Structure 1
Amino acid sequence: MSLDKHQLRTFYKSLRAALTDGELEKKSLQITDHVKAFLSKREELKHFHLFFPIPRHREINTYLIKEYLESRGSTVYTSRVGEDTLSLETLLLKPDTTFLLDKWGIPVPEDFEPVSSDSIQVVFVPLLAFDQNGNRIGFGKGYYDVFLDSLDHSVLKIGLSFFSAELSIPSEVHDIPLDYCITPENIITF
């Protein structure tokens, strides 16, 4: 029996909630190590869009990835919800910026510059679940689908997940599949 998107969201939220703080940090470190290995073979990639963890959602600690990207001289971007609340505005991060939580509990940089997303080469994509074809399920608001659709098709879309791939998950025409997904165990290519 396959699960629908709502059931998958509920299931993976409960899996995340069950992770201890120690497990969450260990898995975040393992994912970061795989990100480093992946990028060690791709020195030409210099412009990265990164999401930051919403504490109540028990997301991957991507601050570790930010530190690594900055140490290799990369440019790091993030987003915040745009004025129309359906789009993401791209923000260029300044080194050593601090983050504040917005009204939704999303970390937003205190020091940033709004910029075009044209320079982005890689987007690290948040998700709850993904399948063996690169389809993903997020929190259901559609921000990343709209954002990814606005980017050049050559931009690499890399999911970050604490958990392994589902065999198959429901997808819709507007869903943008991943190119890769990095888990604590491995790097998956689609």
Structure 2
Amino acid sequence: MDKVQLRARGKQIMANFSTEEKNNIEHELAEHLFKSMIFKQASTIGITISQKNEWSTTSIIERAWKEGKRVTVPKCDPGPKYLNFYQLDSFDQLETVYFGLQEPDPSRCEHVNRDTIDLIIVPGLVFDLHGYRIGYGGGFYDRYLSGYKGETVALASKEQVVKNLPHEKFDIPVNHLITEDGYVF
């Protein structure tokens, strides 16, 4: 399968989960993340604001705030297809932009340099056992992660994990993968 087919397959996998299945998997993913050393040791995390068809990130953000962690969320610059992360202290600091995405309002949030982010939770649709991923096709995360020195982790159902994915020289694999069964690597 090529990337377009794999992306479609990943979207279909997410669409096929019942609400109960999705909630159960989200809970397991979050619990495994919370128990991981990479989460425990991180003082600043980068994480997206999830959409309906993605694993919810709300409980992770709330837990990070509760533990006194600094939460940063990305804002997409669609022209150069680049991400900028901003500190989020409240969901009230979000604005709705194109495609219904919720992103930080730069007039109400502080920009955060990527060198100060300890852990980025990288979204995606399909992952392989080497850390490569198929996302939504914009290349935003690969650009941002180029040169990033901190830890990266992806959260995925085991149904979203395959042995190998096609990848190119500019694709950046994640350092860690967690499924509902626990830590994969």
Same fold (TM > 0.5): yes
Q: Of residues 137, 153, 160 in structure 1, which corresponds to 2:155? A: 160
Q: Which residue of 1 aligns with 2:26?
A: 28
1:74 alignment partner AA: K
Q: Which residue of 2 aligns with 1:64?
A: 59
CA distance in 2, matches of 1:72, 1:107: 23
Q: Is the 8 A contact 1:90 1:116 kept in 2?
A: yes
Cα displacement string for residues 4-41 of structure 1 (whole angstroms, at most 9, x for unaligned residues): 111111111111111122222211111110111114x7
1:157 alignment partner, SS class: strand
1:127 equivalenced with 2:124 (yes/no): yes
| RMSD across aligned positions (CA) | 1.8
Seen in structure 2, the aligned counterparts of structure 1 residues 123 and 26 have a Cα distance that, compared at 3 Å, is same
Q: Which residue of 1 aligns with 2:49?
A: 52
Identity value in percent: 25
Seen in structure 2, the aligned counterparts of structure 1 residues 29 and 42 have a Cα distance that, compared at 3 Å, is closer
Q: Is the 8 A contact 2:46 2:71 kept in 1?
A: yes
Deviation at 1:60, TM superposition (A): 0.6
Q: Which residue of 1 aligns with 2:99?
A: 104
Q: Is the 8 A contact 1:70 1:95 kept in 2?
A: no
Q: What is the aligned residue count?
A: 182
CA distance in 2, matches of 1:100, 1:183: 30
Structure 2 residue runs of 5 or longer lacking an equivalent are: none
**Greater fraction of residues in helix:** 2
Q: Which residue of 2 aligns with 1:188?
A: 184
Deviation at 1:83, TM superposition (A): 6.4
CA distance in 1, matches of 2:153, 2:39: 14
Please report the TM-score for the alignment, with normalisation by the length of structure 2: 0.90
Q: How does 1:6-25 map to 2 (within 5 A)?
A: 6-25=4-23
Q: Which residue of 1 aligns with 2:76?
A: 81
Q: Is the 8 A contact 2:120 2:152 kept in 1?
A: yes
